[in-house]
Amino acid sequence: MVEGPGCKLNGEKLRKRAKGQVVKAISGNVFEKRTKAEKQVVSPYDKFIGKKLLDVKTLGKELFAIFEDDLCLRVHFLMNGSLRFNNEAREFGDGKAAEPRLRLHMSKDEVGFYDSAVELRSAAECIEKYNLYIDLDICSPTFDAKRAALALMEHPERLVCDVILDQLVLPGVGNIIKNEALFDAGINPNSKVKELNPELVSHLVKMNRDFTSIFYKCRKEGRNLHKFMRVYKKTDCPECNSKLVRCKLGEYERLTFFCKQCQMNTIRTRKKLPKKNSLLGWVEAGKNQVLWNCSVCTLENKPANIKCTACLTPKYSKPTVHHPGSSVQLFTPSDNSKSVNSHHSQMQRESSSSVYLLEDSSTHTPDSSQVNIQLNHLVDSTPEERCRIGKYKFRKISHSPDEPISPLSTHQNTVNLNSPISHLRILPLTPKRLDSPKSLHMKVQTPLKSENLKSQEDQILCSGHGKPAKKSVVEKKNENRGRIFYVCNMPMVKQCKFFMWGDDFHPFCNHVKKSVIRKVLKQNANNGREFYCCPLPKPKQCDFFQWVDKKA
């Protein structure tokens, strides 16, 4: 279904393009599909002819086109509705759609509402409803989070998954936003509102608002929303890798995805949720972003201050670590030296996963062949041998002085460049130093994802780009509903016309038709398990049934 962000974008386009234009004529299948009796009388939509479009407002999933003489066209875009001008090509997909539900022939443009529900209403009533609920609209710039939380708590006996879909409570929230917000808030959709404390309810409202912002930006910029979805139409939990529950809950019976282990309605679960890699760039305050108290005069200082504003005491202490037989000192960020402060600032800007390089800064330059022999010996040797042959052992220095320096583990690498320790510097690895004969850099390999382990031979490539195709399922209610097919996985604007059915290996049902794959939606031991069944509608289905997997 077209959710709040999509409706808001349609309203913005209509307001920018057609505001101030006058309706010259009206057409569409709203006229063609009338009965004979209705065709004998004047259509109520003929009232728009000669009227100027004054304004366009959106409230949740509703669009209100305000015309002169208290006329308003209320539009709901249903599951796959769209707004197009001058019979242009579809924004998503190929070609042009069939006759629109309603087309307005205006002064300069033709406005078509496709696959939508249109209705004639009073402009005064629509404006009154808009003013009453606009603060609850999840897409509105005047959204009132406190009022939304109170509106949620006014339904204590209803399931939380039903309340947030109620368009009189949170206008604009759809099924995608519902699933993602419940997961981000750590709330089980089976819970009733009365089981949640006010803090969790407020956090749920914030998660709805945040994912709505992501949704809106992706639709506006033409970016793929799927990479920001964590549970919707997924099989495994992104946090604990456990199997997600897939079911239909509540009075609306909308498809719901949740994790039993991560969504437990506790503050602890909510606080343990990681930072989300999204367009919003959510972050958590670190040690350098909070107020700190001076250890001498106890004055509360700003996070950016490195010294107390009253007594000039450094923010951090200055411990010095002495190593026997060497003159190496480890300095903390509180050093008064400008060079150390600048070096610390540079290190703070670098990621904790930066690759570091060990370089000899002495004037003596060793022979390149000698260095190559040493480096080859280090690479060919085992970690235990490298620890034994190394003259000096190094470990990572923590960025914060509050973090203790852990002892050197036996598996850490050691390097011997036959130079005094006072002439060794730890520097961030730059492209210019990669090929240096007297440098050695160490890389940390991350484990491969499970999807990367699949051989490319099993992947189906699109014919236009030669890249892996996207697997989809027919959702429209027709004879092919439930069938698997493959299409191009590129952005909508760059998609090729590749299409291929993916059910060639499916068994035939008793009607000698290709069976379709369904999933168990009941919350039992077989939840999420796939099976083959008859593709026909329920009244005409045969009793064919077969599990897809090999489980007993």
CB of 254 within 8 A of CB of 162?
Answer: no
CB of 126 within 8 A of CB of 64?
Answer: yes
The three-class DSSP label of residue 253 is: coil
Residues 299 and 393 in one domain: no
Residues 415 and 296 in one domain: no
Number of domains forming the structure of the chain = 5
| pLDDT computed for residue 97 by the predictor | 55
Residues 486 and 390 in one domain: no
Compute φ and ψ for 348, nearest 5 degrees.
-65, -30
Residues 171 and 266 in one domain: yes
Residue from 502, 432, 516, 417 nearest 462 by CA: 502
| Residue where the block lists tokens 């959510």 | 282
Residues 203 and 299 in one domain: no
Distance CA 128, CA 132 (A): 6
Quick one: DSSP state of residue 460? P
β 516-519/530-533 pair status: antiparallel
Q: 371: which residues sit within 8 A by CB, 6+ positions away? A: 417, 437, 438
Q: Is residue 448 part of a domain?
A: no
Output the 3-class SS for 30-70.
HHHCCCHHHHCCCCHHHHHCCCEEEEEEEECCEEEEEECCC
Distance CA 490, CA 302 (A): 48
Which one of 98, 133, 168 terminates a domain? 133
CB of 136 within 8 A of CB of 169?
Answer: yes
Rg of the chain on CA atoms, in Å: 32
Residues 146 and 129 in one domain: no
CB of 416 within 8 A of CB of 391?
Answer: yes
Residues 483 and 504 in one domain: yes
Alpha helices, DSSP H, located in 56-140: 123-133
Q: Is residue 278 part of a domain?
A: no
| pLDDT computed for residue 403 by the predictor | 47
Residues 182 and 105 in one domain: no
Distance of CA 106 to the CA centre of its chain: 39
Residues 62 and 181 in one domain: no
Q: Is residue 279 part of a domain?
A: no
| pLDDT computed for residue 521 by the predictor | 87
Distance CA 134, CA 3 (A): 16
Compute φ and ψ for 344, nearest 5 degrees.
-65, -40
Task: Write the CATH number for 203.
Answer: 1.10.8.50
| pLDDT computed for residue 153 by the predictor | 94
Residues 118 and 157 in one domain: no
Residues 82 and 167 in one domain: no
Which one of 105, 133, 161 terminates a domain? 133
Distance CA 225, CA 223 (A): 6
Alpha-carbon torsion 268, 269, 275, 280, what sign?
Answer: negative
Distance CA 533, CA 343 (A): 66
* Neighbouring C-beta atoms of residue 230, cutoff 10 Å: 20
Task: Write the CATH number for 73.
Answer: 3.20.190.10
Residues 114 and 186 in one domain: no
Which one of 280, 301, 335 terminates a domain? 335
| pLDDT computed for residue 317 by the predictor | 65
| Prediction pTM value | 0.61
Q: What H or E segment, with its residue span, contains residue 440?
A: strand 439-441
Distance CA 305, CA 291 (A): 9
Kindly state the tokens that stand for 102.
């309603």
Q: 534: which residues sit within 8 A by CB, 6+ positions away? A: 509, 510, 511, 513, 515, 516, 540, 541, 542, 543, 544
Amino acid at 391: K
Compute φ and ψ for 55, nearest 5 degrees.
-160, 165
CB of 73 within 8 A of CB of 51?
Answer: no
Q: Is residue 85 part of a domain?
A: yes
| pLDDT computed for residue 419 by the predictor | 42
| Residue where the block lists tokens 């307001």 | 15
Q: Is residue 106 part of a domain?
A: yes
Predicted confidence pLDDT, tens digits, the chain (552 residues): 789 999 999 999 999 999 999 999 999 888 777 777 777 778 888 899 999 999 999 999 999 999 999 999 999 999 889 999 988 766 554 445 578 999 999 999 999 999 999 999 999 999 999 999 999 999 999 999 999 999 999 999 999 999 999 999 999 999 999 999 999 999 999 999 999 999 999 999 999 999 999 999 999 998 889 889 999 989 899 989 999 999 998 898 899 999 999 999 875 444 444 444 445 544 445 555 678 888 877 788 888 888 888 788 888 765 544 445 444 444 444 444 444 444 444 444 444 444 444 444 444 444 544 544 444 444 455 544 444 444 444 444 444 444 444 444 444 444 444 444 444 444 444 444 444 444 444 433 444 444 443 444 367 889 888 889 988 888 777 777 788 899 998 887 788 989 988 888 888 999 888 888 888 888 888 888 888 999 888 888 899 998 987 653
For residue 48, with 0-12 CB atoms within 10 Å meaning exposed, 13-18 middle and 19 or more buried, which class applies?
buried
The three-class DSSP label of residue 25 is: strand
Kindly state the tokens that stand for 358.
């060990």
Q: Is residue 476 part of a domain?
A: yes
Q: What is the DSSP string of 151-186?
A: HHHT-TTSBHHHHTT-TTTSTT--HHHHHHHHHHHT
Residue 536 lies in domain: 460-547
Q: Is residue 552 part of a domain?
A: no
Q: Is residue 327 part of a domain?
A: yes
Kindly state the tokens that stand for 10.
């349609």
